[in-house]
Amino acid sequence: MSDRGVRMVMLGRQGAGKGTQCVRLSRHYDVPHISTGDMLRAAVKAGTELGRKAGELMAAGSLVPDDLMIGIVDERLAQPDAVGRGYILDGFPRTVAQAEALAEITASRPLDLVVDLDVPTEVVVERLAARRVCRDCGANYSVDAPPASDWTCDVCGGPVVQREDDTPEAIAKRLAEYEANTAPLVDWYRERGLLETVDGTGPADEVTERLLAVVDARRGG
């Protein structure tokens, strides 16, 4: 574990491996992994007002409105763990309006870096179609790397299923959404000197090594 935290954003197409890599980095730097997708899925499951507003949009592969998302993230980043050591933001920002709001929220404690985890579209389409997740804890599996026993999560024992938005139609919609709304953030952050592009292809352990090297260089070891 590292003695210093980090404040970072992870960008990348759906299926680039953001979830898996963010969990690893979050352990290494001892900072919370803040996934807006996970927060929304928890709200849908709990049947809260937010969950009712977000559920249908998510199932269709559409984005949840900016003002809702900005409010959620603003509140989460004000928690003591994030203020104290930092965080890894996964799934936010997704639009330029969200990035502008994040810059304001973090004005007194700016981001160390933004990583674009780069995996070509053809590869992510294959990965998404094969992806399976634990409905209870969100752990990631695939049809090629299933849990040890009968689609029961190795971590928590929950049911391992296909995500509702990993159908071919919703995958196509989400990738188009990414190109239209989120890909422009790569240039937006490059212009601000915060961007690092990391090759997300190949074995997960190698991708982790690449990420650690880039993050350590940015935050000064």
Residue numbers at the binding site for ligand AMP (CB under 6 A): 14, 36-37, 40, 57-58, 61-64, 69, 91-92, 94, 98, 165, 174
Q: Pick the catalytic residue: 7, 13, 18, 41? A: 18
Cα distance between residue 4 and residue 2, in whole Å: 6
Whose Cβ is closer to ligand AMP: residue 57's or residue 204's? 57
Has 131 been annotated as catalytic? yes
Residue owning tokens 């190949």: 202
To the nearest whole angstrom, how small is the minimum distance from the Cβ of residue 141 to ligand AMP? 15
Neighbours of 155 (CB within 10 A): 11
Nearest-approach distance from CB 14 to ligand AMP, in angstroms? 5
Distance of closest approach, residue 108 Cβ to ligand AMP, in angstroms: 22
Which is it for strands 86-90 and 33-35: parallel, antiparallel or unpaired? parallel
Catalytic residue chosen out of the listed positions 41, 127, 131, 132: 131
Nearest approach in angstroms of CB 7 to ligand AMP is: 17
Cβ-based nearer residue to ligand AMP, 6 or 69: 69
Q: Which helix (H) or strand (E) holds 41?
A: helix 36-46
**Residue (179 or 209) nearer to ligand AMP, CB:** 179
First to last CA, the chain: 13
The rounded distance, in Å, linking the Cα atoms of 36 and 52 is 15
Report the residue number, 5 or 55, with the smaller CB distance to ligand AMP: 55
Q: Which of 7, 13, 132, 174 is catalytic?
A: 174
Q: Measured from the CB of residue 152, what is the shortest distance to ligand AMP in angstroms?
A: 22
From the candidates 41, 94, 127, 132, which is the catalytic residue?
94
| Cα 10 from Cα 90, distance rounded (Å) | 5
Of 7, 127, 132, 163, the active-site residue reads 163
Residue type, position 194, single letter: L
- Residue 174 designated active-site: yes
Q: How far apart are CA 42 and CA 23, in angstroms?
A: 17
Cβ proximity of 164 and 37 under 8 Å: no
Residues annotated as catalytic (active site), given as ranges: 18, 94, 131, 163, 174
